[in-house]
Each structure stands twice: as structure tokens, then as C-alpha cells.
Structure 1
Amino acid sequence: MAYTAPTVAQFRTRYAAFADVASETVQYWLDEADGDTGNWSDETRPRGVMAYAAHKMAEQGLGTGAMPAGVTSFKSGTFSATVSDAQAGRTGFNSTVYGREFLDLARRNFGGPRLAYEPNVSVG
């Protein structure tokens, strides 16, 4: 199956939290993600592109949703929020659920280290 870049409509179907984000903004991040996943398998690349784009937009505060992961308490009047230490320590792709999905897909594409074995051959 040949790779087909995901559309804005497909992205919004997968990640409804970004339904109100401008189409141009979503397309911008889809295009950037497409370039950064060029060496991925055709099977997982569309999901990787969408997860990458969602992560980048979430980092910028775009999209909507329920209480963010790791928030242990929330107040509204003069705003107050408490974040768990585990969540506060997360950075990079680990800082959003979308980024963690991207990392999981990346691991599927590239796995662990490859080892080469060359037997000891003695010439006597």
C-alpha cells in the first residue's frame, strides 16, 4: 500500500480536540510532520504524521479538551491548578499524549539496536 498523506478532515476525525483550529494551521503542522517522517513505513506514517502534528499544536495551547493529564486539582474563580510531579517532569514528546503516541509509533518503525556478529575465524 503506497503512502497517502493524511488530510485535515482525517486529522480532525482522529483528534476531535482540534476541530476548532484553523485548517491552515492544521495543514501547516501536517506538512511539517510529513517531512519529519519521510523514512517511516507506509503503514504507520499517516498515524505518525497526525500524532506529530497534534503534539506540536498541543504544545502551543491549540485545541480543546478535558482537564490535562496530570492535573490533580483545578479551581476556576481566580484560577488555580495543581499538576502532579510525574507530569510536571515530562518534556519533549513525552509532555503530551499525542507526543507519546508519536514515540510509540517511532519505536515500531525503528526498534532497538541492531547487532552484527562476526565469528572468530582462526587461520591455522
Structure 2
Amino acid sequence: MRVKRITTNLSVPDIQAAKGFYTGFLGLTDEEFNLGWVARYTDPDTGAHVQLVTKDSTAPEDSVISVHTDDVEAAYTEAMESGYEIVHPLTTEPWGVRRFFVRAPDGTIINVVAHHD
């Protein structure tokens, strides 16, 4: 699997309540997207970003990071062949990503995702 980017998923109880800290104090100005349960804020000049998550809308558990890859199908096959636990199956989500969740041997849940171009 080729990793293009890794995004930290911060668990917050309320995205709107947390937004002021990340946009005000940290100065992240660009709301890349906000689906109500997940939102990403970025500094457009540096690319620094954070993703806030309340509760994943389709997966049974929340992930702590999102690993963006160029070939999610190959990553899924590799995870299955390696015997890793698949927490959320390979799915094309309504908001336009294809992803699956895998549990690392230490118990960490990782969202492996590819965006459709």
C-alpha cells in the first residue's frame, strides 16, 4: 500500500463547540468539509490540518487516524491476506470515498481511505 497522507481523527463531543478553538486559537481557516459528524480544518498555506469526529456515521467503531492511499482495494486485499481484523468492510460511502477500517495488532482502529477523483 502506498500512503499518500495520514490524518489524525480527534474525537470531540460537539464539532461546532470545538470549531472555535481549532479555527481561532490554532488559526486553521479552511473548512474542507463538514458532514455534521466529521469536519476537517486546514491551514491552506501550510497544509496543517485536523479532522474532528463525533461518531462515525456508518462504521461500528471510530478510527483514530485516516490513512489516505491511492489503491484502497489492494490495501484491503493485503489486510485480509495478512489476517488483520476488518472492523468495517470495504465500502463506497455516500459522501464519495471508498474505505475500510482495520484493527492494528495494538488495537488501534485505522480508516484506510481513497477519494474518488
The structure where helix makes up a greater share of residues is 1
Instruction: Give 1 or 2 for the bigger CA radius of gyration.
Output: 1
